[in-house]
Amino acid sequence: MRCKKDAQTEIIRLLGESGGAFLSGEAVSESLGISRTAVWKQINTLRKTGFDIRAVPSKGYFLSAGKDGGSPFNAASILSGLKTETIGRNIIFLSETDSTNVRAYELARAGEAEGTAVIADSQSAGKGRLGRHWASNPGVNLYTSVILRPPVPPAAAQNLTFLAAVAVAETITAFLPMRPTVKWPNDILVDGRKVAGILMEMNSEPDRVNFVIAGVGVNLNLRTKDLPDDLKNTATSLMEKTLAPVDRVLFVRMLYINLEKWYKIYIGGGFAPVLSEWKGFFGATGTHVRVRGFNSVVEGICAGVDDDGALLVRTLSGEIVRVISGDVDTAR
């Protein structure tokens, strides 16, 4: 017998595939092998979780587009068309939380499986790199954290930073007419302004990684005018470039598909193919950079990255300095 969650997912899939056209209660009931009353009950439950499913007598049901210009943003909607094996197969969807990274970290510590994803519509304490705050307005963007359990030593976990950047940049590429760039190591920019950030947090033993939380924030439908003042000149969103809302459901599905693809490539083939793809999004080689580290500043011409992904900076004296963490300013 089909479980309730499966039936709901299947109903959303059927309604989604009909492209907004009517689907009769009879057709849904036959396809799922459940009674028409059971279909009606499941549809009522789906409505309560945010799906705008309309019913018209003698015609049937249809799924109305949500306010993102697409499907309603919730777990059932995302799962109904998600073609991954691990990433996002289990989604914890929260309308609000402090930080999806904090939630995912706690779940992973309690033994939650690899691939489980936390998504929040808004965050009250979104975390950025280097202890910064990540502005997390409701109803517009993507805030998600995925649990990974890579079979690698702790020193190699830094590779996942590049892997996530590749997956995010590739996903953004599918939604925009222009190509994004990465700012070392993993900020994603469009036309020189930040649209996405990635925060990786690790829990490890001396010789092995227990888990890594890959936290991704993407400005999808945020208006620049709604950004905090200090970000108005340095950040943007996808919608500012497309002028039409981005469907958050389609975006997050594609992100999970790309994350899974690159994770498999990494586990099977090592870091080289990931880094090679990352370099295709990296535009700073040959430009002037200033890297602020924990208690030092390195300034010079970017000479690319080495095989481990460390940033190489040629200073005024001609020396090549290898930087493994820090914040890069590209503007002079």
Binding site for ligand BTN (CB under 6 A): 99-101, 123, 126-129, 132, 134, 143-145, 187, 197-199, 215-217
Q: Which distant-in-sequence residues (6+ apart) come within 8 Å of 41 by Cβ?
A: none
| Residue carrying structure tokens 């222009």 | 178
Report the nearest approach of ligand BTN to the CB of residue 201 (Å): 9
Residue 229 vs 307, nearer CB to ligand BTN: 229
* AA letter at 128: G
Name the closest residue to ligand BTN (Cβ).
Answer: 197
Angstrom distance (rounded) from CA 91 to CA 78: 9
Side-chain half-sphere exposure of 161, counting CA atoms within 13 A: 23
Report the nearest approach of ligand BTN to the CB of residue 5 (Å): 25
Report the nearest approach of ligand BTN to the CB of residue 171 (Å): 15
| Residue carrying structure tokens 């924990």 | 294
Report the nearest approach of ligand BTN to the CB of residue 179 (Å): 19
Residue 63 vs 198, nearer CB to ligand BTN: 198
Report the nearest approach of ligand BTN to the CB of residue 100 (Å): 4
Angstrom distance (rounded) from CA 234 to CA 217: 16
End-to-end CA distance of the chain: 64
Residue 180 vs 215, nearer CB to ligand BTN: 215
Residue 15 vs 182, nearer CB to ligand BTN: 182
What is the helix (H) or strand (E) element at residue 105, kind and residue range?
A: helix 100-109
Residue 80 vs 99, nearer CB to ligand BTN: 99
Answer whether the bond into residue 245 is a cis peptide, omega within 30°: no
Residue 231 vs 321, nearer CB to ligand BTN: 231
Report the nearest approach of ligand BTN to the CB of residue 246 (Å): 16
Integer CA distances (angstroms), 238 to 18, 87, 93, in order: 27, 23, 22
316 CB neighbour count, 10 Å cutoff: 8
